[in-house]
């Protein structure tokens, strides 16, 4: 795509990639049946096929602010709760769908919430506008992972690639060992960092972790009112699936890329060599350029349409991010692929 194209035109590809499945999921929630399968097929088979059309790839824009991108992020944040409610209603068995359709609905809605809502919430918590950040917190807290809004900017972005970051993989650690460690460690690390910040600034009022818990309880209570105990079970199941996608994304994007130690005994500055990236257009558009991860860590304040990719200077995955996430579930195969790819980027490690 020509970089001279208007910014708003370039944002259109992200809107099409994200809102097409929204429409299919709404249809699935209302009418069920074939629409459930259509939404699932879109989020899996179609995206996989389109990822192999390199002609769809688009460069980032060097500008940092995109009004149309902000509108898209806000819209995606606002549709998150209605979609979560539809997912709970369907999966809890309130629509008359068959067991097989409910399972398909679980994965269709879960994939969208895990790949699009997660990516968008990540975008929102990095924005300067307080209203947008709060919307991102709402999205994370609704899937019972509100603490990520603290841990991600205060811990991950500061300590990525070192032992101080729970979300950075340790050596040849499998995803399953990583999952259990991060699920516990990120909560504590974010809480401690948030408490330390409040102590430094003298800020009063509710601790953010209390806010996260209250919002999470409110959304679960909403599922209880909507569909009773089956609704609560569906909500918790969907939240667990969404959380696992967030964690496997961090695992894939930072595996085997520790920051080197400097002569002063400190980790080197985070650079393009400390994150994995993919050039695949369809999944990148669906995930709001989250696979352009090196540039995000280098320039965290840049809005998603402006993230750039340099395959020569940045570690590049051999397959799209969703495909690599699937491979990560098979540790032996994962290591066989990734260890040789990571080796050229590694230097003396910062405690990992």
In a domain, 48, yes or no: yes
From residue 303, give the alpha-carbon distance in Å to each of 73, 126, 127, 309, 351: 10, 9, 8, 14, 31
Position 1 in a domain: no
| pLDDT one digit per residue (tens) for the chain, 352 residues | 333 344 444 688 899 999 999 999 999 999 999 999 999 999 999 999 999 875 445 554 444 345 668 999 999 999 999 999 999 999 999 999 999 999 999 999 999 999 999 999 999 999 999 999 999 999 999 999 999 999 999 999 999 999 999 999 999 999 999 999 999 999 999 999 999 999 998 888 899 999 999 999 999 999 999 999 999 999 999 999 999 999 999 999 999 999 998 888 899 999 999 999 999 999 999 999 999 999 999 999 899 999 999 988 899 999 999 999 999 999 999 999 999 999 999 865 444 5
Asked if the structure places residue 2 within a domain, the reply is: no
Of 348, 241, 240, 328, which is closest to residue 276 (Cα–Cα)? 328
Residue 336 resides in a domain: yes
Instruction: Count the domains in the chain.
Output: 1
Q: How many CB atoms lie within 10 A of CB 130?
A: 8
Q: How far apart are alpha carbons 133 and 136 in whole angstroms? A: 5
Residue 31 lies inside a defined structural domain of this protein: yes
In this prediction the pTM is: 0.93
Residue 104 structural domain? 7-345
Measured CA to CA, the distance from residue 154 to residue 148 in angstroms comes to: 10
Distance CA 70, CA 210 (A): 28
351 occurs within a structural domain: no
Cα of 57 vs its chain's centroid, Å: 20
* 352, part of any domain: no
Say if 106 falls within a structural domain.
yes
């Amino acid at each position: 795509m020509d970089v001279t194209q208007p910014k708003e035109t370039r944002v259109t590809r992200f809107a099409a990639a994200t809102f097409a499945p929204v429409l299919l999921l709404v249809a699935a929630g209302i009418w069920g049946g074939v629409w459930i399968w259509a939404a699932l097929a879109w989020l899996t088979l179609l995206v996989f096929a389109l990822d192999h059309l390199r002609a769809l790839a688009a460069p980032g824009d060097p500008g940092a602010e995109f009004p149309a991108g902000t509108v898209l992020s806000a819209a995606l944040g606002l549709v998150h709760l209605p979609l979560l409610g539809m997912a709970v209603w369907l999966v809890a068995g309130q629509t008359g769908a068959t067991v097989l359709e409910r399972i398909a609905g679980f994965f269709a809605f879960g994939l969208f919430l895990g790949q699009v809502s997660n990516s968008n919430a990540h975008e929102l918590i990095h924005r300067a506008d307080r209203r947008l950040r709060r919307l991102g917190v709402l999205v994370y807290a609704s899937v019972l992972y509100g603490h990520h809004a603290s841990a991600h900017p205060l811990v991950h972005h500061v300590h990525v690639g070192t032992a101080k970051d729970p979300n950075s993989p340790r050596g040849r650690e499998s995803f399953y060992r990583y999952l259990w460690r991060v699920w516990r460690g990120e909560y504590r690390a974010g809480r401690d960092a948030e408490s330390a910040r409040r102590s430094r600034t003298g800020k009063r009022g509710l601790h953010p972790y209390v806010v996260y818990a209250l919002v999470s309880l409110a959304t679960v209570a909403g599922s209880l009112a909507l569909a009773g105990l089956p609704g609560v079970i569906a909500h918790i199941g969907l939240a667990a699936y969404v959380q696992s996608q967030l964690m496997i994304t961090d695992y894939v994007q930072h595996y085997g890329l520790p920051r080197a130690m400097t002569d002063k005994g400190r980790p080197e500055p985070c650079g393009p060599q400390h994150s994995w990236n993919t050039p695949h257009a369809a999944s990148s558009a669906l995930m709001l350029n989250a696979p352009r991860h090196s540039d995000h860590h280098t320039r965290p304040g840049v809005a998603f349409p402006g993230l750039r990719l340099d395959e020569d200077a940045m570690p590049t995955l051999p397959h799209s991010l969703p495909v690599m996430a699937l491979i990560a579930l098979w540790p032996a195969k994962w290591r066989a692929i990734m260890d040789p790819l990571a080796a050229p980027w590694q230097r003396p490690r910062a405690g990992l």
